[in-house]
Chains A and B, each alone.
Chain A
């Protein structure tokens, strides 16, 4: 039922910056309750595509429908209502630096949700716990946090309004491997336990190989490949082979050792 519902529809997106064409007809759809990763080499316009999807940057051509709204044509009122239904985690967190973590999480709740006073504090703490942060982080300002904690605080803020879709820009970049893997599990549990749809841009092979349902590969302005990790690994494309070759080398080495 709800599982097959289309959340996001990206249709023949073309993006040009002056002479340079970044996207030349990119199309795909996302289904509710899936964890999808967008990968591609540097300069293939992954982050640009993400910004176009959430309405921060206008594509040259093509349409984007997110949660039933045409992101670049519908009225501002409709868009604002839709914006409360997705969460975005920026690469460096983009936490408001003059506020504590708790105030960062509280802001969307106070602005957009009618939360009874008695429930506001528990709800903030719940969001922090859902993002894997302890209560001691609540009263700190972002500059006092480590990189991993800042990412978790950013997730907590993105989750504040119970979004249906969560967009993550390189969620594990700059994290040490154990923290990155814990982050992967956190994202997976958001999909499995809370039924979120997650769309992330990443370069992290471990994320791709362990928790992601589906991978979309962007290259030369188009979707090079689209499918589960097994399907992607079977693709006959030089760049994709090179991308995953490090992993295969490590696997072969560990096989010869054992």
Chain B
């Protein structure tokens, strides 16, 4: 016997009926394996099946359970009795018998439950309601926790808080700075194209000042934070749910809210105004950099004009929105992470959902703020 040679191309499977003395015999030859299952099936389809017959397997070179399954399903469809098996080798017979014992199971029809529209609407309604109730519950618990942290600051976990702060604030500064710098350049450039036509170059400074500090910097920073920190919160807490770490925290007599959620929420609420401030400075810097080559506004002129026209209320409005955005992003991120069930897919889906929900929520809130500040005249 040669050593485990790769299986060579084996003889094609064939099935023919041979007229015997008293009983027709289905004579099988060749290789009845999964690899040649299509030909096995074609052979069996083409046969004219008599009333009664026996099966002669002496010409079979090899048979596996897939080949046996094809044979037995066809035999079963055309014969009422169990045909006699002859000529099979012992190991081949064992395979055929094993498959025969499981034929019923293999042919059991699949029960596909097709959900009807009304069922789907009902199921989704319940799911969404439960999810919203859960969100409100979580937001309430977080706000209560935040209130307690303000009244009793010593209950805040400083180590966890500082670690999170480093992650969400310090490590985020480079990307925030780069993106807002470019945004500043782009706004000044686009405004400048228009203003130049009227010789109103200097008004670009007014426009960039208000636009960047009041709207663009907070929104851009919120989008970056949602994608960076909100998604990270969900992924971290979600995988801790999978490995039962959150349950371990609970059984140690601690509250996951205190240990995991509050440090993240507080860190982000502190970090976000700082990041928005970085964004303000960088976007104005971007505008200043392009103002001289494009609009002949020198840096001293730019700064003097900014000081004259940019009312302090605009940056303050922008900075005031930041902690609210932070609260929403952090709560959505933590809530989605904590709602992950024992299913590896869920972490990925929850993370995606966090980013989408956060960005939508931030833009809706920003619109509400615009209306609100308009109404109170700021």
**Segment touching A, from B95-103, B144-152, B179-187:** B95-103
| 20 A-B contacts (beta carbon < 8 Å) | A7-B4, A68-B3, A98-B345, A102-B110, A115-B34, A115-B37, A115-B38, A115-B66, A119-B37, A122-B106, A123-B106, A125-B106, A126-B69, A129-B102, A130-B65, A130-B102, A135-B108, A143-B342, A189-B98, A194-B94
Quick one: closest A residue to B38, CB to CB?
A114
When each residue 110-147 of chain A gets 1 if its CB lies under 8 Å from chain B and 0 otherwise, what string results?
00011110110111011011100011101100010000
Quick one: closest B residue to A128, CB to CB?
B105
CB pair B344–A4 under 8 Å, yes or no, is no
**Does B111 have its Cβ within 8 Å of any Cβ on chain A?**
yes
Binding site for A on B (CB under 8 A): 1, 3-7, 33-35, 37-38, 41, 64-66, 69-70, 73, 91, 94-95, 97-99, 102, 105-108, 110-113, 341-345
Contacts of A134 in B (CB 8 A): 105
**Does A192 have its Cβ within 8 Å of any Cβ on chain B?**
yes
Q: How far is the CB of B60 from chain A (nearest CB, A)?
A: 14
Q: How far is the CB of B38 from chain A (nearest CB, A)?
A: 5
Cα–Cα, bound, A253→B98 (Å): 39
CB pair A161–B102 under 8 Å, yes or no, is no
**Does A12 have its Cβ within 8 Å of any Cβ on chain B?**
no
Contacts of B107 in A (CB 8 A): 122, 125
Cα–Cα, bound, A189→B7 (Å): 24
Q: How far is the CB of A244 from chain B (nearest CB, A)?
A: 32
Q: How far is the CB of B160 from chain A (nearest CB, A)?
A: 30
**How many residues of A sit at the interface, in one of the four size bands?**
35 or more
**Does A246 have its Cβ within 8 Å of any Cβ on chain B?**
no
Quick one: closest B residue to A32, CB to CB?
B4
CB pair B65–A162 under 8 Å, yes or no, is yes
Query: A68-B4, A68-B6 in contact; A116/B37 too (CB < 8 A)?
Result: yes
Contacts of B343 in A (CB 8 A): 97, 143
CB pair B41–A118 under 8 Å, yes or no, is yes
Contacts of B344 in A (CB 8 A): 97, 143
When each residue 166-203 of chain A gets 1 if its CB lies under 8 Å from chain B and 0 otherwise, what string results?
00000000000000000000000100111100000000
CB pair B106–A129 under 8 Å, yes or no, is yes
Q: How far is the CB of B364 from chain A (nearest CB, A)?
A: 31
Contacts of A81 in B (CB 8 A): 6
Q: How far is the CB of B174 from chain A (nearest CB, A)?
A: 33
Q: Given known contacts A126-B99, A130-B65, what 7 new A-B pairs fall within 8 Å (CB)?
A: A97-B345, A113-B66, A126-B69, A126-B102, A139-B113, A194-B64, A194-B65
Query: A123-B69, A125-B107, A129-B106 in contact; A113/B35 too (CB < 8 A)?
Result: yes
CB pair B112–A139 under 8 Å, yes or no, is yes
CB pair A129–B95 under 8 Å, yes or no, is no
**Does A67 have its Cβ within 8 Å of any Cβ on chain B?**
yes
Instruction: Pick the contact of A119: B70, B98, B110 (CB < 8 A).
Output: B70
**Does A225 have its Cβ within 8 Å of any Cβ on chain B?**
no
Query: A139-B112, A194-B95 in contact; A67/B102 too (CB < 8 A)?
Result: no
Quick one: closest A residue to B3, CB to CB?
A6
Query: A126-B102, A129-B102, A139-B112 in contact; A113/B4 too (CB < 8 A)?
Result: no
CB pair B95–A193 under 8 Å, yes or no, is yes
Contacts of A32 in B (CB 8 A): 4
Contacts of A85 in B (CB 8 A): 7
CB pair A138–B1 under 8 Å, yes or no, is no
**Does A250 have its Cβ within 8 Å of any Cβ on chain B?**
no
Q: How far is the CB of A119 from chain B (nearest CB, A)?
A: 6
Q: How far is the CB of B34 from chain A (nearest CB, A)?
A: 5
CB pair B94–A193 under 8 Å, yes or no, is yes
CB pair B69–A116 under 8 Å, yes or no, is no
Query: A115-B38, A135-B110 in contact; A192/B105 too (CB < 8 A)?
Result: no
Q: How far is the CB of B211 from chain A (nearest CB, A)?
A: 44
Quick one: closest A residue to B93, CB to CB?
A193
**Does A82 have its Cβ within 8 Å of any Cβ on chain B?**
yes
CB pair A119–B41 under 8 Å, yes or no, is yes
Contacts of B41 in A (CB 8 A): 116, 118-119
**Does A2 have its Cβ within 8 Å of any Cβ on chain B?**
yes
When each residue 155-170 of chain A gets 1 if its CB lies under 8 Å from chain B and 0 otherwise, what string results?
0000001100000000
Cα–Cα, bound, A203→B38 (Å): 42
CB pair A1–B66 under 8 Å, yes or no, is no
Contacts of B65 in A (CB 8 A): 126, 130, 162, 194
Q: How far is the CB of B25 from chain A (nearest CB, A)?
A: 24
Cα–Cα, bound, A68→B98 (Å): 29
Quick one: closest A residue to B70, CB to CB?
A119
CB pair B110–A121 under 8 Å, yes or no, is yes
Cα–Cα, bound, A67→B7 (Å): 9
Q: How far is the CB of A66 from chain B (nearest CB, A)?
A: 8
Cα–Cα, bound, A189→B95 (Å): 10
